[in-house]
Amino acid sequence: MLYHKIIVKGLVQGVGFRPHVYRIAKKLNLFGYVKNKGNFVEILINKKCQGFLTQLKKNLPQQAIITTIQTTTIEFKKSYEDFYILKSTKTNNLFDGILPQDLKICKECIEDIKMHSRFKHYAFTTCTNCGPRYSILKALPYDRENTTMANFNLCSACKRDFLNPKNRRFHAQPLSCKDCHIPLTFFSKNQIFSNEDAITQCALLIQQGGIVAIKGTGGFALACSIKHQKSIQKIRDFKQRPFKPFAIMVKDIAMARQYAFVSKQEEKVLLSKESPIVLLKKRKKMQDIAPNLNKIGIILPYSGLHFLLFEYLDTPIIFTSANQSSEPIITTRLRIEEDLYPLCDGILDYDREIANPIDDSLVQVTNSQVQILRIARGYAPLHLKIPHLKKNNKTQVGLGAEQKITLAYRKNQNIILSPYIGDLSHPNTLVFYEKTYQLFNMLYAIHPDVLISDKHKNYHSYDIGAKKSKEYTMIWEKKQHHYAHFCAIFADAMLQDSTLMPKEKVLGILWDGTGMGDDDKIWGGEFFIGNLKSYRRVGHFEEMGIYGGEKSIKEIYKIAYCLAKQFCKKTTFAKLQKQYHKSYPSIFPLFDTMIEKKIQSFTCTSVGRIFDAVAALIGVCNKNTYDSQAPMLLEALYQKNVHYGIYPFKIQKKIIKIHPLIEAIVQDMFNQIPKKVIATKFIHTLAYIALEFSKKTKAKKVLFSGGVFMNQALCEKIQELFQKEKDIKFYFHVFLPSNDSAIALGQVVNLS
């Protein structure tokens, strides 16, 4: 008998796609089946029906995405007299399948929690449109037996919903209710509470000033009321975060607006299925939460558990991951008890295992465009199909750099980017990195052919590439750090603009804190002309001599001193030198000797280091106690829609000469020009440097990447300037972060 076989690829697992197919087939009186094959859905119908394909693409489940549909006619021996959802099977080629991402609880499930039903006040209420996915996944295809829900049996009512095509919980894999519940427990210092009591007691302790560890979708977060400054300070002391900003969780948009300005686009992102932390402009100072910054990170409840907590809370809560900075998120109560029990007054835990730890994503909205700063829950794993890339059956793995690490897998035009992992300088992160590597190999049944790492020999990813390639006989390649940034933004731009071709030569402006250059010096203020095949360094900021070794990256007053000595007039520096010797009497006589003898010295072209120097020179920040502290404090001083002019600079033989800029900034500081004026002029100057260099190279297309472009004020000013240039098209990251989380993807994007 002739049947029509339809192969559908895309995000078609864990999103209610098979029930969607089933309902259409029943409505059209078609016979056959729908089956999950791991990386695609296979449909068999007994007659050709154009209406079926039309309806298939129409009214898709909320989270489903169709990338391709292939249809063929086949001879099939078996005859079907109804339409069925068959048991999933696994194919050998899983790579072009899309892993389901964890989703925020939907409105319908929140209503169920409020109503008198078996879901009333049940923290783990979910359906095919929401709830955990990646965090509970152990294997493909995405079926209950392949998740951490496998040990929880469905009650009779849930089973009926699960098998009822008309129910929105039809084939909802994480389904459970109060009758077949996931046990929820609150462990206080003295008592243990279960289920609904666990939530009320946890909320009560928070209101009383307690600090609790709350198990979320991807791991544990620390929480306390924002009203209790002593509790906030205890968390700061324990996490060794004297100034780093905390995010807060608020009940709803109305509460968010009490603490921050929220645009329509920002509201949309806060309420989105991804439910990230969104950086918003503060309404209040909140010095104990986000010291000296103009922004606050806000997140809404994204699970039933969080929603129920806020039924008993009338103020926001501090919401920060329970792990130390840049380490993997904690997923077990045992680790909390071992590492944080002296700090925590209580632990809110549940019995469902977190198979794959995942952080909360962090974003900001720049000129109405979502800019991803940390790619994690809701946004990752990220599957991209990059057009025009050469088809190659070899599986390439990008191992990333050192900080903000991710992994990227490529086969042909398909690329998968892992969620944010952390910084490889931490031993626990190295373990998590290896687990993530093994997880993706297992999920996609792949054996990597090519490993690509950063060229920097001191990076752990370099060592990992060397070791694995030798152990498993794989090809090992090294890619220059900023060329990986260039390739990442090139891929991002191709997704934004279908006219951009892989061999087209464009200008890349690549500014960050550090990256090993082709000359074995530290780069970070780069201008490349190239494509996905090759690149040429056509310009850079002039080299800066930095002394004091690795410590100077944190003790940035040393960078300020070095740049002033190198770029200021002798009389200007002499005046500054007296101030520094007076402020740091035990350091600078010795430091002058180090400079003279070139002890612990390195040169760099990094724009990130210039930000550090300027912040220290004008007294905004002398030490970086957290990543990007100095640039963030400068951005907080920035005056939008005010133009104070720009500082002088020179472009000589494609090198950005900054001695006039540094001299002018120091003079402004001596003349007691307000810090907000200096910060604004400095950021404007960088934007004009980008524009001036683009014009000098007669670039038609300009691509921006690197951690410096997480600075919202700088991005907005660059966009304002470039929008006036009719002959220049420009691109910032849309699908990827501009920081080192994009490096892994940039490593695998090439023409080979």
Distance of alpha carbon 666 from alpha carbon 730, whole angstroms: 33
DSSP 441-462: HHHTT---SEEEEES-TTSHHH
Distance of alpha carbon 464 from alpha carbon 442, whole angstroms: 19
Name the CA dihedral angle for 225, 231, 235, 237, rounded to a multiple of 10 degrees: 150
Strand pairing class (247-249; 317-321): antiparallel
Angle at 255 between CA 252 and CA 261, to 5 degrees: 110
**Contact of 104 with 274, CB cutoff 8 Å:** yes
State CA 15 to chain mean position distance: 22
**Contact of 538 with 594, CB cutoff 8 Å:** no
Sequence-separated (6 or more) residues with CB below 8 Å from residue 136: 147, 148, 149, 174, 352, 353, 354, 355, 356
Strand pairing class (295-299; 247-249): parallel
Location of structure tokens 């952080």: 359
Sequence-separated (6 or more) residues with CB below 8 Å from residue 470: none
Of 18, 168, 537, 609, which one is the catalytic site residue?
18
- Tokens linked to 545: 């001599």
Judge whether 36 counts as a catalytic residue: yes
Exposure on the CB side of residue 104, measured as CA atoms within 13 A: 22
- 245-275 burial, b at 16+ Cβ within 10 Å, e below that, comes to bbbbbbbeeebbeebbebeeebbebbebbbb
Distance of alpha carbon 28 from alpha carbon 736, whole angstroms: 41
Give the torsion sign (CA, 580, 585, 587, 591).
Answer: positive
- Tokens linked to 513: 């804190």
Location of structure tokens 């103020």: 315
- Tokens linked to 247: 């995010």
Sequence-separated (6 or more) residues with CB below 8 Å from residue 632: 293
SS3 585: coil
Taking phi over 0 as left and psi of -120 to 50 as alpha, with beta for the rest, 445 belongs to: left
Exposure on the CB side of residue 86, measured as CA atoms within 13 A: 18
* Three-state helix/strand/coil letters over 78-134: CCCCCEEECCCCCCCCCCCCCCCCCECCCHHHHHHHHCCCCCCCCCCCCCCCCECCH
- From residue 329, alpha-carbon distances to 122, 235, 432, 469 in Å are 25, 16, 9, 29
- Tokens linked to 90: 């696994």
Exposure on the CB side of residue 201, measured as CA atoms within 13 A: 20
Of 29, 36, 129, 323, which one is the catalytic site residue?
36
Ramachandran angles phi, psi of 415, nearest 5°: -130, 135
Axis crossing angle, helix 659-670 with helix 570-583, rounded to the nearest 10: 60
Name the CA dihedral angle for 231, 237, 240, 241, rounded to a multiple of 10 degrees: 50
Residue 165: asked if its preceding bond is cis (omega within 30°), the reply is no
Judge whether 18 counts as a catalytic residue: yes
Residues annotated as catalytic (active site), given as ranges: 18, 36
